[in-house]
Structure 1
Amino acid sequence: SPGTTSMFCPSSSHGFHVLPFQLTFGPFEPILSDNGQFPFLYQMAPKDTTLALGVVFLMVHFSWNWVGLIISEDEKGIRFLSDVRGMMDRNGVCMAFVNMIPVTMLLYFTRAHQHYNQIMKSSAQVVIVFGDTESLLAVGFNRWDNVVTQRVWVTTSQWDVTNSKKPFILDPFHGALIFSHHHGEISGLKHFIQTVNPAKYPEDTYLARLWWMHFNCSVSESECKTLESCSSKGSLACLPRHHFDMAVRDGSYNIYNAVYAVAHTLHDMLLQQVDGQPVKKGKGPVFSPWQVMSPTGGKWVLYKGLPRIVSVMKT
């Protein structure tokens, strides 16, 4: 989910061995960027600084120079506020108000009336919202129906409530401007998603569950994993967006990048046959985390927005 950090941890397989390292494919977490605490953890998600820059450029383009901010009072929200405030100052955009939404329900309700009055009394017609779908932002907007229609709302993909499985009153918004990180097109992925089904991948329990829930399949009594009486026309493309989104969003793109990063790096390492690497009987080479991340004494360069993202640069 957007509020959590998911990890991909390669281990021993396919004849070679990698001591544990971690790639996160959830949203960028500032605390995880501390190399001292997390020397072998790498975040696939880009920082949100570019989103803040895009939001401010929008304000400048339309001459919106009196803007309100509603931001989740967590580390990511505070970092975003710092980024966007500096950019607004440099571009002549003024902050009408800043509402920091607490992360606990108790604190939220102690400030709810104050936040409501601040928004109602403000003359700002444009409001920037930053948080994720796990934050208490949605609680506030469900209570502030009468202030929503009076303004232009600008947010980021982390708070794209149209893709959330949680109940949310969307009608009063009449649309919002949502900024997201640029994603390069992944060749063949859309066709794969449209044609994939449990018959092709019988071990995939997630697919089986989707088909059972949405395509009137029955489960075999003799083998719980086997689906019967399924429609041959079933496709993920037929599902509502809040159940399965065909668009390649941040999380999916980060997972794709993580898999390719590991695959390309290990492929490069195996081709080079690292000098002096001992090989035990029946086992392949043993690689340390720093070698995986820097197989030639260089460093990873991850090209965001490109299907093939791994390159090694000498340092």
Structure 2
Amino acid sequence: MSEAGTRMSAEIAEQPAVFDAVLARRAELAEVAELAAAHRPRFALLAARGSSDHAALYAKYLIEVLLELPTGLVSPSTTTLYGAQPDLTGALYVTVSQSGGSPDLVEATKAARGRGALTVAVTNTPGSALSAVAEHTVAIGAGEELAVAATKTYTATLLTLYLLVDAARGGSGEHAAGLGELAASTLADTAAGVAAAVERYREIDRVVTTGRGYSSASAAEAALKLAETSYLGARSYSGADLLHGPVAAVDESTGVVAVTSRGRGGEAMRDVLAAVHERGADVLAVGSAAEDMPASRRIVLPDTAEEVAPILEILPLQRLALELALARGGDPDQPRGLSKVTRTR
């Protein structure tokens, strides 16, 4: 039997090479993006579950900001449980699923195609049931992932979605160039900061994660990782929503992980963190703007364009989840009650 956390640790370390592999396939991804753009969709819909749902949230920001196309996150159960049949003529329907095996996503995608949508599957399993029902399939290409907690498949999905949206707007992928090298330096340079955060948070039971804009996805994914590996009571809130009530539950016993990269989203977090910091919460700021934020401790990341920052932001947070689980006596490779593929309807 392997040591606890071995698989998750190895897959976190693989991500720089995975990024390079995804970037090498940019032309292939651009072909699908051009086909989708040629249909001139009126709006976009994104269907996903779990970590893939957080990747879809990132894509929602990308599509709405970079393509200025109205975009929504789908509730598959409106189709699978309630039998709703909306007219999806002119819709771009993108289903994001690492496994491509969840029955509700397969059924909803098939139904969307039958109701007039252009369907695209973004999956790490090209031969999956999802690929069979979608009109186009985009392979994430992260390789087999053995740990239950998604790490390399999540970030490879983010990068794949970015390259698709960037190509649809006629971009060259320039903001993503070199992300493999930046990922390697990020993992190396943040190790000490992660270790310090583990020492601080190993005894707490409640964590709030927060971010704005593109980084909302990073905050949501960080909360999921901390909950599923360390069994923490972790909740994610938009920085805007945090001050509309949930801040009342934040005090000296609450760990607050704030994702703050340079750009409009990160800047919008400044007043939020000042208010939270004043309540005595232990604030860990993570991102390229972390050193300028009101916080108790910081993990500073390299500067990038704001639209690709989430691809790097999550790396030290994955490592935090891994090492915190180990420090608390758990095995993040075998979280209780979880399996690699979750089948819902």
TM-score by length of 1: 0.32
The structure showing larger relative contact order (alpha-carbon pairs under 8 Å, at least 6 residues apart) is: 2
Report the structure, 1 or 2, having the larger helix content. Answer: 2
User: Rg larger in 1 or in 2?
Assistant: 1
